[in-house]
Amino acid sequence: MDVLFRSVRELVDLAENEGKLISELMIEQEMLISGRSRDEIFAQMDRNLTVMEEAVERGLRGVQSVTGLTGGDAVLLQNYIAQGKSLAGDLLLDAVSKAVATNEVNAAMGTICATPTAGSAGVVPGTLFAVKNKLNPTREQMIRYLFTSGAFGFIVANNASISGAEGGCQAEVGSASAMAAAAIVEMAGGSPQQSSEAFAITLKNMLGLVCDPVAGLVEVPCVKRNAMGASNSLVAADMALAGVTSRIPCDEVIGAMYRIGQAMSPNLKETARGGLAATPTGKAITHAIFEGGNLKDILKSRTVSH
């Protein structure tokens, strides 16, 4: 199949040689592969963006999952930001809360847009709607943010994995966070090379992340991993925009992620047999949900909420 780029190196070289944005190359490639017009492709991404907006709004109004394990944290974070006491900074915490909002809606079986997966659906919209307040992008630029994320995600999906069952959580929230970092850089006016540096820095710092969902649900620890993924994206984007580079080239980081995923025990790849799922509390939660134990008592016994 004819494609414009298969690696980050090819993508960045092409963008720089032709003086094009990464988002533009992703749009051109989609036109090439699908045979559809630019307008059709833009319209579909516009609809995805609307789904993301609605999910964030719904999450910020407050949702609860069917199990009661997750929900409501996005609201807590927004209230905390409103008190003006945040230490990490309002924009960063806003991104975190909006990532959480999306994943809380996902856990509640609400409608979301997978970016690249449902378990990692919070990071790309969370960071987008937070930087939106700072950078005041046009609707087109917001749609381009998704194409830029998609270009990097396309490379990861084809050269490594975006599935927790195949590569652990590094492949899901790790990929999502790195994709978002690259897109933030483009929206902030950084170069294609700086996007790739931000991508590499983010993914490097999420390598080895296991997929260990308690009770096999996409709730604990998935929601909070999206929160931390979003903060990773913003910090890495700032680092790249400041001129910091990754000593290990982006494509090699992706290769390392793939091989780490291959080496990981199946117990740590979405089977709910290891990691947090296998802790005493993780097992107690599983028992409570599927064999009729008392989940409320387990959650109440935690001094810190889930």
Partner 1 sequence: MKFTSVFDIIGPVMIGPSSSHTAGAARIGRVARDLFGRQPKWVKIYLYGSFAETYRGHGTDVAIVGGLLDYDTDDERIKTAFEEAQKAGLQFEFIPETANKEHPNTARLLMGDDAGEMSVEGISIGGGKIEISEVNGFKLRLTGGMPAILVVHDDRAGCIANVANCLAMHDVNIGHMEVSRIERGLTALMVIEVDQNIDDRIIEQISYIPHITKVSKINN
Binding site for partner 1 (CB under 8 A): 1, 3, 6, 26, 29-30, 33-34, 41, 44-45, 47-48, 51, 105-119, 121, 124, 146-147, 149-151, 153-154, 157-158, 161-166, 171, 179, 213, 215-219, 266, 269-273, 289-290
The distance of closest approach from Cβ of residue 142 to partner 1 in the complex, given in angstroms and rounded to an integer, is 12
CA–CA distance, 13 with 117 (Å, rounded to integer): 28
Which secondary-structure segment (H or E) carries 162?
none
Cβ–Cβ < 8 Å for 65, 55: no
The distance of closest approach from Cβ of residue 92 to partner 1 in the complex, given in angstroms and rounded to an integer, is 23
The distance of closest approach from Cβ of residue 145 to partner 1 in the complex, given in angstroms and rounded to an integer, is 10
The distance of closest approach from Cβ of residue 300 to partner 1 in the complex, given in angstroms and rounded to an integer, is 22
Compare residues 6 and 61 and give the one whose CB is closer to partner 1. Answer: 6
Compare residues 241 and 275 and give the one whose CB is closer to partner 1. Answer: 275
Q: Which are the contacts of 299, defined by CB distance < 8 A and separation ≥ 6?
A: 68, 69, 305, 306
The distance of closest approach from Cβ of residue 165 to partner 1 in the complex, given in angstroms and rounded to an integer, is 4
Compare residues 79 and 158 and give the one whose CB is closer to partner 1. Answer: 158
CA dihedral sign, ordered 84, 89, 90, 93: negative
CA–CA distance, 158 with 17 (Å, rounded to integer): 24
CA–CA distance, 233 with 45 (Å, rounded to integer): 21
Which single residue is written with the structure tokens 């309002």?
90
CA–CA distance, 230 with 30 (Å, rounded to integer): 26
Q: Taking the chain, what is the end-to-end CA distance rounded to the nearest angstrom?
A: 46
Compare residues 75 and 272 and give the one whose CB is closer to partner 1. Answer: 272
Q: Give the tokens for residue 288.
A: 């409570």
The distance of closest approach from Cβ of residue 248 to partner 1 in the complex, given in angstroms and rounded to an integer, is 23
Compare residues 197 and 270 and give the one whose CB is closer to partner 1. Answer: 270
Compare residues 12 and 272 and give the one whose CB is closer to partner 1. Answer: 272
The distance of closest approach from Cβ of residue 246 to partner 1 in the complex, given in angstroms and rounded to an integer, is 22
Cβ–Cβ < 8 Å for 171, 43: no
Cβ–Cβ < 8 Å for 281, 289: no
Compare residues 30 and 94 and give the one whose CB is closer to partner 1. Answer: 30
Residue 211's DSSP bridge partners are 269
CA–CA distance, 289 with 301 (Å, rounded to integer): 16
The distance of closest approach from Cβ of residue 118 to partner 1 in the complex, given in angstroms and rounded to an integer, is 4
Output the CA angle 272-101-134, nearest 5 degrees.
130
Rg (CA), the chain: 19
Compare residues 34 and 79 and give the one whose CB is closer to partner 1. Answer: 34
